[in-house]
Structure 1
Amino acid sequence: KMFGEWGTLLNARALNYLLYPQEVLTFISLWSVLLLLTSCAFFAYLGFKIYRAYITNFSYPIENKKIRIAQIIVIPALLIIGYRGGFQLSPINESSAYYSNLQINNQIATNNVWYLAHSILDANDSKNPFVYMDEKKAKEITNNLFPASAGKTTAVFKNTKPNIVLIILESWTADLVKDLGGEENIAPHFNELRKEGLLFTQMYSSGFRTEQGLISIFSGFPAQPNNSIITTPSKAEKLPSLNIELGKQGYQSSFYYGGEIEFANMKSYLLNTQFKKIIDKNNFEKNELNSKWGAHDEFVFKKQLNELNNEKTPFFSVILTLSTHEPFEVTMQTPFTGSEEQERFKKAAYYTDYCLHNYFNEAKKQSWYNNTIFILVADHGHRLPKNRDVSMPVGRRLTALITGGALIDDLRGKTMDKICNQHDLTSTILSQLKLEHKQFVWSQDVFNKNSKQFAYYSNESVLGWILPEQDIIYGFATQKVVRFNPKTQITLNDTLLTQAKAYLQTLYQQYLDY
């Protein structure tokens, strides 16, 4: 199940979620659990019978001392040889199993238990596993990706102190939106809403989990391949914060979520970043908790809208949706009636789209609407509804839109086509408010004419680097480019690959240094 969602084998990151068993169980059905337990019991019984029949009978222990001594010597030796994969000079690693240009084939060929153990050791290693060059050179290359940008930004907001509502859409891949290449009838209301706003066509998520998306949006810090910094509060608390910067300007902050806010250390992070009001499933009535995760989106939107009318301005209010999270169970009738996972995902997205429609219809009636910016952005991409490979750029492209009464009118219905990352939103927002954002070193103002076009992403298997010239996907196991999408340049540009490596090396070193 995890492989289908994350596109990777069972790894150390997954073990962190065992601290939240109730949330984990929402991913899987009762039949899946029963099938797993039955299979484990069957293979354990089969292994025991084979061992007893062909290797030794426990009723008759071996008395021959020579055989016993041989067992003591030979069995550990065989285990060591098997562990390192033979008598060759170097022990085996993932490269020994990889044989195909298709990532899924290589992952099938890799021993799952070995991969899990390897990822645990890597996750606990205090050394940077992504060192490709001298540290000074890596920093220099990375710094050159972020040129000086004073006074070059294009105004998007009508004024420098609007209210800001940030709607983080769970799993809203670009494939859900017609104008981003998605199907026409999954999000019909969003397709109308985008005519009132500025649509981003080339925004990508660096990570693939919700907590990584929160860190990216609020702290402008990209995701790491094998860790989520939010799961280590001692590191996460050292990150800069968009909310803290807005708080210094008198913004009243609130965060609304229909699920369990303690999941994946979200609560500790939100408290450290000084959100004044945090609403989760415990703040909803029992009859509103009709989702496996908690309260469906309609109740969260309604609650936030009602409470904003009593909020002092300016305010910074965040909604994190959840209805498009597995198991994709919603209560309304939609055009998608199939029971397949793909159809259920479309149904859930259609429901959230309907909730957005009702929300904006009511928001436009409020006195504060004309001085409010709404930023809608996905927390991460998703493999559904088109069964994308989340190790590829198409699996990381997001839905992102800026709208509201405080958006400059000439930008309505337009698109922002610059390649950028989700974590660039942090500096972009602060720049529009004419506030300092140098502390967000990994985030750049996308409306600044000097900002460069590139997007980074990663997971346990690959490093992705998206550019106007070409897309480069570099495999950690093979230490080679595993996929290359030419655009304006038809041959692999080694300089651009070096940029990607330098970026990741410097990013991960900063993660370790926190």
Structure 2
Amino acid sequence: MKNLRWQELLALVYRLFLVFFFYQIARLLFWIFNKDLIKVDGISEYFRLSYYGTAFDTTAILYVNSVFILLSIIPIVINTKKGYQKFLFYWYFITNGVTYAFNFGDIVYYRFSQARLTSAAIEVGKNEDNLGRVFWNSVLQHPFVFIWFTVIIVVWIFLYRKVKVREEKPNNLIAYFAYSIVVLCITATLVVGGIRGDFKHSTRPINLVDANKHVNNPLQANLVLNSVFSFFRTFNTNNFKLVHFVDEKFIEQEIKPYKLYEREVEPKPNIVIFIVESFAKEYSGAFNRNTTIKNFVSYTPFLDSLANNSLIFTNAFANGRQSIHGMSSVLAGIPSLTDAFTSSPYSNQKIQSIVSVCNDMGYDTSFYHGAPNGSMGFQGFGNILGFKHYFGKNEYNNDQDFDGIWAIWDEPFFQYFAKSIGKKQPFMSTLFSASSHDPFKVPEKYQNKFKSGPLQIHIPIQYTDYSLKKFFETASKQPWYQNTIFVITADHTNQIYYPEYQKAMNRFAIPLLFFSPNPKYNLKGVDNRFAQQIDIYPTLADLIGYNKKIRSWGRSLVSDKNEDYMIVNSDAINEQMIIGNYIYIFNGKEVTGIYDKSDLALSKNILSKNLNSEQKSGVEKVKAWYQDYMDRVINRKLR
């Protein structure tokens, strides 16, 4: 009897061991292909991180294999029969194969998302009808990932079949079932403890933030984690929770969630906002003039020339990691933290934004995006913000200019934009571009027009820059042009080449440019202060003379009040804030890291028990800001 059950248990242990082994192989491949982004000080440190990663692997593996474990040991007498073992084989490889592939997807997309896969991907994907084309393009662009995955699965199957369960029948059914019940109870206890990450009743289940306990640099947490864990641990979770760290008076005095700017402006200027897909600061020479990057190459000649006659911010940061995060940050001043506001249960509420401000002032407001209507969630969120008009691929109505995957090519859509806006003034129009997106292609007629670079994105960035040039050539001939303020920024960053932009905070570095042909707005110069996407909304409200209080965590970049900055973003595990002379890492409960603001790589944590006065104040401001954010989002006070 014991021999019968033992052979089944040993086979189960062996099969689970294979899962653990191949998870470590996936982690190694993930690091090899992303080691320029995740710095590890030698092989010994890699093994240390991978050892701590075993706890997160355990949770993921037991999530996926809990049914397989039950089916392997449940006492149903037929366990050892060939047909049943064949059924277990298919169950094992279908469930593990599908979820294991998550790790291989992240080998590529970590370079774009800067975070492990989370369930937020479902929110993005549900708005798309081109996922099949995106998948096959990714396979064609990165065949090594598919090849490695296939080879590993073949080897995995080979090793699985090395240990077989002999067909036997129990001689004593009473002993068989009694022994099996004991095994089931012990196994259930081990599985529950493994999924939680601990057997202590007082300890909460491990989460993404726990990966930071074992790292010297926050970016290394993505090496400790695995994509299956991060996906399942964020599935159906809601990290939006009310907290209380400080009193409301402190928030009013130090966070100043309401701003008032008074300026007389007549006639009211038009506003055109370009949110350019993946248009990272790294690609533009105008925003790197003061850097010490050797042999720097710019891929934005037009933007560089426009910057000479614009007000530019050379130390600006994105407040999110995905396109929809950029939309909420730029237009509504709402950054995305560990969980994105736009995919939260609280996104459907009245929100004060530059859209509502312009609507209040009688502007004609519109949003343009060349993808199929509804893509990326833009149309839905645009309706929440109150855009009066939405123009997408449906309205463009010419599929000859469709790139075949995402949207209308930038050049023709920018021309459509230039000729469509301004029929009623004043107006505020936003265009979200699309062509500088994976799979990084340009129209066939431009295949040899642009110089190649070390990154795939360099050619489409030049194409989008060229499209901007053609837009301004057309726009400058329009009657509305002279009295228009233009804003150009990015939704988020993307592929990285220069080591300077591999630094943790510089993963969020974007260009920010304000331009107007009308000299009365005085939008010229180079400003090296820290700035961010959520500063755009209050800056525009100030420039158009709104003269009423606005709800804003950003500040006007053209105000003479010279307000303090609080730069906010998240690496999907922790919140990151730059306040004064320091960068603070916050996990929703406490500050776990403090870095000098010049340490954008987050290489030396100077957090200690003996904080100086500025650091103590900074910690309180971090908590106060987070408290106010949660309060306003959850209690629907964003109007």
Q: Do structure 1's residue 217 and structure 2's residue 368 form an aligned pair?
A: no
Distance 1:407 1:437 in 2: 25
1:276-301: CA deviation from partner (whole Å, max 9, x where unpaired)? 32111222312101252121110111
Which consecutive unaligned segments of at least 5 residues does structure 2 have?
A: 1-107, 290-295, 600-604, 608-614
421-430 vs 243-252, which moves further: 243-252
1:310-364: CA deviation from partner (whole Å, max 9, x where unpaired)? x1222222211111111111132345436xxx52211111111111112112222
Cross-structure match for 2:241: 127
**SS where residue 221 of structure 2 aligns?**
helix
User: How far is the alpha carbon of 1:221 from its aligned partner?
Assistant: 1.7
User: How far is the alpha carbon of 1:189 from its aligned partner?
Assistant: 1.2
User: How far is the alpha carbon of 1:267 from its aligned partner?
Assistant: 1.0
1:238-253 superposed matches below 5 A: 238-253=350-365
Distance 1:66 1:107 in 2: 44
Cross-structure match for 2:230: 115
365-374 vs 347-356, which moves further: 365-374
Cross-structure match for 1:433: 544
**SS where residue 161 of structure 1 aligns?**
coil
Q: Do structure 1's residue 418 and structure 2's residue 529 form an aligned pair?
A: yes
CA contact (8 A) 2:350 2:384 kept: no
Q: Do structure 1's residue 258 and structure 2's residue 367 form an aligned pair?
A: no
CA contact (8 A) 1:198 1:411 kept: yes
CA contact (8 A) 2:564 2:580 kept: no
Letter in 2 for 1:504: Y
Q: Do structure 1's residue 302 and structure 2's residue 415 form an aligned pair?
A: yes
Residues 507, 452 of structure 1: alpha-carbon distance in 2 compared, 3 angstrom cutoff: same
Distance 2:487 2:224 in 1: 42
From 448, 451, 462, the equivalent of 2:559 is 448
From 496, 503, 506, the equivalent of 1:384 is 496
Residues 160, 446 of structure 1: alpha-carbon distance in 2 compared, 3 angstrom cutoff: farther
Cross-structure match for 2:629: 507
Residues 225, 443 of structure 1: alpha-carbon distance in 2 compared, 3 angstrom cutoff: same
**SS where residue 400 of structure 1 aligns?**
strand
Residues 134, 276 of structure 1: alpha-carbon distance in 2 compared, 3 angstrom cutoff: closer
Distance 1:336 1:204 in 2: 27
**SS where residue 255 of structure 2 aligns?**
coil
1:47-88: CA deviation from partner (whole Å, max 9, x where unpaired)? 7536x62xx446657852343222222211221232333556
From 520, 538, 543, the equivalent of 1:408 is 520
From 26, 30, 34, the equivalent of 2:139 is 30
Cross-structure match for 1:199: 312
Cross-structure match for 1:16: 123
CA contact (8 A) 2:489 2:513 kept: yes
Distance 1:124 1:491 in 2: 31
CA contact (8 A) 2:569 2:577 kept: yes
Q: Do structure 1's residue 395 and structure 2's residue 507 form an aligned pair?
A: yes
Identical columns (%) = 20
More helix by share: 2
User: How far is the alpha carbon of 1:175 from its aligned partner?
Assistant: 1.3
From 268, 271, 274, the equivalent of 1:161 is 268
**SS where residue 74 of structure 1 aligns?**
helix
User: How far is the alpha carbon of 1:186 from its aligned partner?
Assistant: 0.6
Distance 1:97 1:207 in 2: 20
Distance 1:38 1:59 in 2: 34
Distance 2:269 2:400 in 1: 35
Cross-structure match for 2:71: none
User: How far is the alpha carbon of 1:234 from its aligned partner?
Assistant: 5.8
1:267-286 superposed matches below 5 A: 267-282=379-394, 283-286=396-399
**SS where residue 68 of structure 1 aligns?**
helix
From 101, 106, 110, the equivalent of 2:221 is 106
CA contact (8 A) 2:407 2:435 kept: no
Distance 1:150 1:318 in 2: 24
If you compute each CA radius of gyration, which structure gives the higher value, 1 or 2? 2
**SS where residue 344 of structure 1 aligns?**
coil
Letter in 1 for 2:634: L
143-152 vs 212-221, which moves further: 143-152
Letter in 2 for 1:424: D
Cross-structure match for 1:289: 402
Distance 1:34 1:296 in 2: 29
Distance 1:261 1:425 in 2: 25
**SS where residue 514 of structure 2 aligns?**
strand
CA contact (8 A) 1:160 1:434 kept: no
User: How far is the alpha carbon of 1:230 from its aligned partner?
Assistant: 2.5
User: How far is the alpha carbon of 1:116 from its aligned partner?
Assistant: 2.7
**SS where residue 307 of structure 2 aligns?**
helix
User: How far is the alpha carbon of 1:148 from its aligned partner?
Assistant: 7.8
Q: Do structure 1's residue 140 and structure 2's residue 250 form an aligned pair?
A: yes
Distance 2:387 2:194 in 1: 52
Letter in 2 for 1:323: S
From 315, 322, 334, the equivalent of 2:427 is 315
CA contact (8 A) 1:231 1:265 kept: no
Distance 2:439 2:331 in 1: 27
**SS where residue 95 of structure 1 aligns?**
helix
CA contact (8 A) 2:496 2:502 kept: no
Distance 2:167 2:160 in 1: 11
Output the TM-score relative to the length of structure 1: 0.85
Residues 146, 290 of structure 1: alpha-carbon distance in 2 compared, 3 angstrom cutoff: same
Residues 175, 35 of structure 1: alpha-carbon distance in 2 compared, 3 angstrom cutoff: same
Distance 1:458 1:466 in 2: 12
**SS where residue 191 of structure 1 aligns?**
helix
Distance 2:191 2:258 in 1: 56
Q: Do structure 1's residue 495 and structure 2's residue 617 form an aligned pair?
A: yes
Residues 325, 305 of structure 1: alpha-carbon distance in 2 compared, 3 angstrom cutoff: same
432-441 vs 159-168, which moves further: 432-441
User: How far is the alpha carbon of 1:447 from its aligned partner?
Assistant: 2.0
Distance 2:151 2:168 in 1: 27
Distance 1:150 1:193 in 2: 30
User: How far is the alpha carbon of 1:211 from its aligned partner?
Assistant: 0.8
From 270, 276, 279, the equivalent of 1:172 is 279
Distance 2:185 2:470 in 1: 72
Residues 149, 293 of structure 1: alpha-carbon distance in 2 compared, 3 angstrom cutoff: closer
User: How far is the alpha carbon of 1:501 from its aligned partner?
Assistant: 2.6
**SS where residue 437 of structure 2 aligns?**
coil
